[in-house]
Structure 1
Amino acid sequence: MRIAIIGAGAAGLATAKVLLQAGHHVTVFDKAPDVGGVWSRTRRYPGLTTQSPKTQYSLSDFPMPKSYPEWPTGEQIQSYLEAYAAEFAVDSTLRLNTEVTAARVAGNGQWTVTTRDGTELFDRLVVANGVFCEPAVPQYPGLDKFTAAGGRLCAGTDFLDVEDARDKYVLVVGYGKSACDVALAISRVAASTDVIARQMLWKLPRKIGGVVNFKRLMLTRLGEALFPYRRRRGFEKFLHGAGNRLRRGMLNSVGSVSVRQFGLRRHGLVPAGQMEDIVRGAIGLATEGFFEAVADGTVTVHRDRTITRLSAGAAELNDGTKLPADLIVCATGFRQDVPFLAEDVQQQLLDERGNFLLYRQILPADIPGLYFNGYNSSFFSPLNAEMAALWIAAHLAGALDLPSVPEIRQAVTQQVAFMDAVTDGHHCHNTKIIPFSMHNVDEVLEDIGLNIKARVRASHWFNPVDPAAYRSLTPALLERLASAQRLRPAVEPTPLVPEVERLDADAG
């Protein structure tokens, strides 16, 4: 088949690699000039690093260079993904600097894809544009007066050069990892750096107590099992039953260590509730050096505050405080957006609250020929995307035995309801699966009928999950699909689809 993939981030590249190996003709579109998605040089803010350590953020059959630090920089991750594309010949499929303006149903599962170069027909479409593709930037009252006086307001992903903050009064809006990353980088050159935090969030130390790498708690199957999943198996039943007190104690003890380690009580930055509530906000890693900057006054955090109005050279907060401001960087989250899909398709794809109705975070129940990848943001995003790519390859080959369409719809509705309950609605419109990364991997592989050995999975209960353990699954699936193809009875050959078929711009 000829398959179009929109997006050249980790999910798009992993999908292209697997589908190429499965014998398909692939074209990958991206509006950026380079691969990498969130790691592209066009949106890489100063101070950007991974949240997960390099081993856990790697693709299964392509380890990161040994020279990389435990938490690689954004530039290093982009270079890694570029090398991955070259290693597996995905670079030959790329059309960079090419924005998809429309993708339309053409019938029989086929799609037309329109760019500035024209419109082409594809047999299937994979959307991998990323769930962090469109920054959500507040439009404050008085913004026109602020900018007329020379002020600048921008998204974090549009702030690319720390020198733009030199000797300026800077406000960073937000308290997630990206806000703290960019605030720390800015504080080294700015006249002042104030963080406007609407809500305090629990932060995990990279080294708990300064000793234990956080991956040994949170990036294990045991760490994931500390949070209640909708289907509990084995030891999970104990943890959320007779062992509930033990489970809560394990999580909340990390919170107590964090409060002491970061001096949160001294700075008035202790979040409400307990560490077990972390899943209801954002499970974020603390930026190395951020709380030290708070302690020495380089960074000031205004907790439980929002900006209510801007004026020339200043911002007013909801408690009446006025702060000098030349630059406002908004690390205020993202919209999950697919503007290239027609309105009628979006109505089938989204519920009334904008949640993506995707089975296994991949398949819309009622839209033939359309798949999503990367809509499973997690601590192991590359691994989750890679396993989703295997699922797509198996589905394209007719090798999945899935429930009926009504059953799929019901399963998706139940999944959204569960995530609403457990995360208090903080699941990025059903595109974030944290903290249930490995549950998703298991379910995807269960559909395919593949998995790694049980003893290896068992080792991941107490040791950090290693994506390299899954490297044998792609060749295993490809061999299975090839064997099935060899066993099929001979049929009349179908006409070949031209490698590039140009259509009128309004086709489809």
Structure 2
Amino acid sequence: MENRVAIIGAGVSGLLACKCTLNKGLTQQFLKLKKELEEFGHVLLTQPGSKTPNKVISIDYVGESFQEMESWDLWGGTGKPFGSKGKWHIKVQHTKTCSIEEYHAEFVILCIGQFSGVPNIPEFSPDEGPQVFKGKVMHSGDFSALDNLGTEKFIQGKRVAVIGSHKSAADTATECANTNGVNFPCTMVQRNAQWFLPGGSFSVFLLGFLYLNRFSELLVHKPGETFLFSFLVTLLSPLRWGISKFMESYLKWTLPLKKYGMLPKFSFDEHMSSCQIAMLPENFFDKVEEGSIIIKNSQSFRFCREGLIIEGEAQPLETDIVIFATGFKGYEKLANIFESSVFQDCLKATAPLLLYRQILHPRIPQLAIIGYNESFSTLGNSELKSLWLANFLDGNLELPCVKSMEKEAKMWGDHIKQDLGTEKRQTLEDDPFACPICYEPLIRKGPPGFNLSAIYRSGFKCKKCNKTYSSKDNYLDLTITAAMKEYNEVKPARTELFRSPLVSFLYERGWRQNFNQSGFPGPDEEFKMAQEYFKPAEGGLLVDVSCGSGLFSRKFAKSGTYSKVVALDFSENMLRQCYDFIKQDITILNTNLALVRADVSRLPFSSGSVDAVHAGAALHCWPSPSNAVKSGLLDQKMEDRQTGKMLQSIQALKTSIHISEDSWSSGNELGLTIQEKTEDFDAKKETILLDDTTILLDDGDKKLMDEKLKDENLAGKTLKADVEEEATFY
């Protein structure tokens, strides 16, 4: 059987992969970007997002089920590059004819990089985003795609603001300054300053002499190092520190960094380790001196009609064009090429990307990734990886078992996190979490990603009240009493019961199974019912309220249906049990799942951030169900299988609902559908009409709901939703 290798991408990494595999005599379908490569005589295709006549739409692995793949002990089932039943199907669109052609290959090499594709543009609230701005907004990737004439015409005579602080921001600001001069200065808004090297051969020589040589490798700790090597690195650590301080002093002396607010807060060594060092554009500080480039430092900004409102500035910055030089979402670009959501979740589950030998993903068969991880020497790095891969494809190397591959990949992944540098490792990013005291969004400092490891290593701080929150015992504590030693909140007995270590331990070891005797169809059937109801929320954030030991949280996370899953409970011991169960399944351990301790009456989520809420057999344990509803979760579905009811919003209302004691009101038109998912009841049903929507209640359900309404002093109160009709319960 012919062993065909398809290479997607034709940059440096793709060319080197092609060269090395050709030397091994493998048949290739080279999915390439440059027409000049036709001399190789391979099939002409392109990488995703290419503007050439052809582009790759997607790839899909066909021939093996995911159940079979999960059971494999060896990579690809055999531990070999070829020989499994599966093949990769590669869909390519010919843009001139819009026709799609499919190619097949036994092995795929992805060389598409991470600095292109999906733009990384910050998210804003509806009234503070680009839509309120009267000017034009674009990404630096689109700006750089313009030809010289188009670029000059686009920015000439315009007030331009560039958002960002890295190489692309400095290059864009310099180009705007060269075109417009001091008459229309370009404003560069940066959050964190970066270390830049001045242009010239001396800076390159100095960097290479001090950092890019074999001796410098003796100054860096590595995973799996011997005791003697570790001792030597520790012994030489003062030398590493001294080199870093020397470079900082040289750059401060050479460039007016402090004068213009471009002096980084972090060391040169940290920026070097995280590959954040870049060459400064020619005459950059000359442009700053003459006033054609204006530097502004701010942690946040928002749009207004005239331009930008920058934090700390008294007046809005009036501008005509805003260019985001904020990089790309490399993970999404890489994941989006896969048709399978399972493979997409494998890639998105961890940050950084965990690859064996920085090449093979342990859970994705017959596929290699080259040129994705950052390096100062892309050429050398990619060539070494291509040589290793070529020898593996030629059958000269053997792989360990999948678990060993995952263990080694995680070991190097943790090492890379430590080497990312403080600034990049503790990236400021907005999460769905909000302060349970004032409900303001929390600012996060920590590694990127929404998973157990990333959340555990992160700290959260409220923008308004400055209260901080952190993880404890592998769950994030977002209760109002978090980190307080003097105050402890006591809940009713029915709530405190589930905080008991014994009940938490027994819950999934016999307790929950007894629910079948009360008419519950069983966890698998209940999960299917929930998934059916939550179809409109696919791809969004799901919160499993009162998750217990995480029986359904784990199912939701493992399904790959949702971008994020939060397992939320007030019981510390329940969350510990949940984590113990998660540790037993590594496929769940790496999913977008977070464990959060919170009070259901003060749910810690930003308004409009939650797409689905699941509460299985839980309402009877809540001290205040009405307060749970009043906490402002919108655009959600809520199911309580104990009463068999489902509350589902029809419209996506990304605004706050303000709830008074007597009524619920919203500034937008609100339509609610309350449906029932129950088995046939023998008891007589009663029907209540609410805005042309039917609620079916049996006698038992009505009695239970009546008790809850009386318990919360809500009986007889009116539900208003800015619609003409009003309906009164009972």
Shorter chain as denominator, the TM-score bin is: 0.5 to 0.7
Q: Compare relative contact order (CA 8 Å, sep 6+) and give the higher one, 1 or 2.
A: 1
Counterpart residue number, 1:376: 373
Give deviations 1:176-195, integer Å, cap 9, x for gaps: 11111121111111311111
Counterpart residue number, 2:346: 349
Counterpart residue number, 2:214: 221
Answer yes or no: is 1:358 the counterpart of 2:348.
no
Query: Conserved in 2, the CA contact under 8 Å of 1:110 and 1:122?
Result: yes
Give deviations 1:198-245, integer Å, cap 9, x for gaps: 111222334597795433333323345544433557996566322222
Change in Cα spacing, 1:289 to 1:109, as seen in structure 2 (3 Å) is farther
Counterpart residue number, 2:177: 187
- The two structures have a TM-score, normalised by structure 1, of 0.67
Answer yes or no: is 1:167 the counterpart of 2:157.
yes
Change in Cα spacing, 1:212 to 1:2, as seen in structure 2 (3 Å) is closer
SS in 2 for 1:420: helix
Counterpart residue number, 1:412: 409
Which residue identity is paired with 1:152? Answer: K
Change in Cα spacing, 1:324 to 1:382, as seen in structure 2 (3 Å) is same
SS in 2 for 1:113: strand
Change in Cα spacing, 1:423 to 1:388, as seen in structure 2 (3 Å) is same
Query: Conserved in 2, the CA contact under 8 Å of 1:102 and 1:113?
Result: yes
Change in Cα spacing, 1:393 to 1:229, as seen in structure 2 (3 Å) is same
1:262 CA displacement: 0.4
Aligned residues: 374
Query: Conserved in 2, the CA contact under 8 Å of 1:109 and 1:370?
Result: no
Give deviations 1:240-272, integer Å, cap 9, x for gaps: 322222221111110011011101122232211
1:304 equivalent among 285, 288, 298: 298
Answer yes or no: is 1:136 the counterpart of 2:124.
no
Distance 1:91 1:156 in 2: 35
Distance 1:256 1:92 in 2: 52
Moved more, 165-174 or 260-269: 260-269
Query: Conserved in 1, the CA contact under 8 Å of 2:137 and 2:322?
Result: yes
Which residue identity is paired with 2:115? Answer: F
Query: Conserved in 2, the CA contact under 8 Å of 1:11 and 1:386?
Result: yes
Moved more, 101-110 or 163-172: 101-110
Change in Cα spacing, 1:115 to 1:370, as seen in structure 2 (3 Å) is same
Distance 1:193 1:239 in 2: 49
Query: Conserved in 2, the CA contact under 8 Å of 1:5 and 1:16?
Result: yes
Answer yes or no: is 1:264 the counterpart of 2:214.
no
Query: Conserved in 1, the CA contact under 8 Å of 2:45 and 2:92?
Result: no
Which residue identity is paired with 1:253? Answer: F
Give deviations 1:127-169, integer Å, cap 9, x for gaps: 11111122212344241232xx3x2211111112430211111
SS in 1 for 2:193: coil
Query: Conserved in 1, the CA contact under 8 Å of 2:60 and 2:340?
Result: no
Answer yes or no: is 1:291 the counterpart of 2:307.
no
Change in Cα spacing, 1:297 to 1:238, as seen in structure 2 (3 Å) is farther
- The two structures have a TM-score, normalised by structure 2, of 0.48
SS in 2 for 1:267: coil
- Provide structure 1 residue ranges, at least 5 long, that are not aligned to the other structure: 36-81, 431-508
- Provide structure 2 residue ranges, at least 5 long, that are not aligned to the other structure: 47-52, 64-84, 94-99, 428-446, 449-730
Distance 1:406 1:361 in 2: 16
Counterpart residue number, 1:475: none
1:351 CA displacement: 5.3
Give deviations 1:47-99, integer Å, cap 9, x for gaps: xxxxxxxxxxxxxxxxxxxxxxxxxxxxxxxxxxx5xx47xx43644324322
Give deviations 1:248-304, integer Å, cap 9, x for gaps: 111111001101110112223221143223235823333332223222322111123
Answer yes or no: is 1:196 the counterpart of 2:189.
yes
Change in Cα spacing, 1:274 to 1:388, as seen in structure 2 (3 Å) is closer
Distance 1:367 1:186 in 2: 44
Which residue identity is paired with 2:243? Answer: M
Distance 2:226 2:178 in 1: 49
Distance 2:219 2:240 in 1: 6
Distance 2:137 2:268 in 1: 33
Counterpart residue number, 2:668: none
Query: Conserved in 2, the CA contact under 8 Å of 1:313 and 1:325?
Result: yes
Change in Cα spacing, 1:347 to 1:266, as seen in structure 2 (3 Å) is closer
1:362 CA displacement: 0.8
1:307 CA displacement: 2.4
SS in 2 for 1:269: coil
Counterpart residue number, 2:132: 145
Answer yes or no: is 1:102 the counterpart of 2:76.
no
1:318 CA displacement: 1.8
Distance 2:212 2:255 in 1: 21
Which residue identity is paired with 1:340? Answer: I
1:15 CA displacement: 1.2
Counterpart residue number, 2:233: 240
Give deviations 1:396-452, integer Å, cap 9, x for gaps: 12211333221110011111112222214848999xxxxxxxxxxxxxxxxxxxxxx
Moved more, 411-420 or 240-249: 240-249
Distance 1:413 1:302 in 2: 39
Query: Conserved in 1, the CA contact under 8 Å of 2:298 and 2:312?
Result: no
1:306 CA displacement: 3.2
Larger radius of gyration: 2
In angstroms, what is the RMSD of aligned CA positions?
2.9
Counterpart residue number, 1:13: 15
Which residue identity is paired with 2:29? Answer: T
1:172 CA displacement: 0.9
Query: Conserved in 1, the CA contact under 8 Å of 2:4 and 2:106?
Result: yes
Query: Conserved in 1, the CA contact under 8 Å of 2:5 and 2:105?
Result: yes
Change in Cα spacing, 1:208 to 1:20, as seen in structure 2 (3 Å) is closer
SS in 1 for 2:235: coil
Counterpart residue number, 2:269: 276
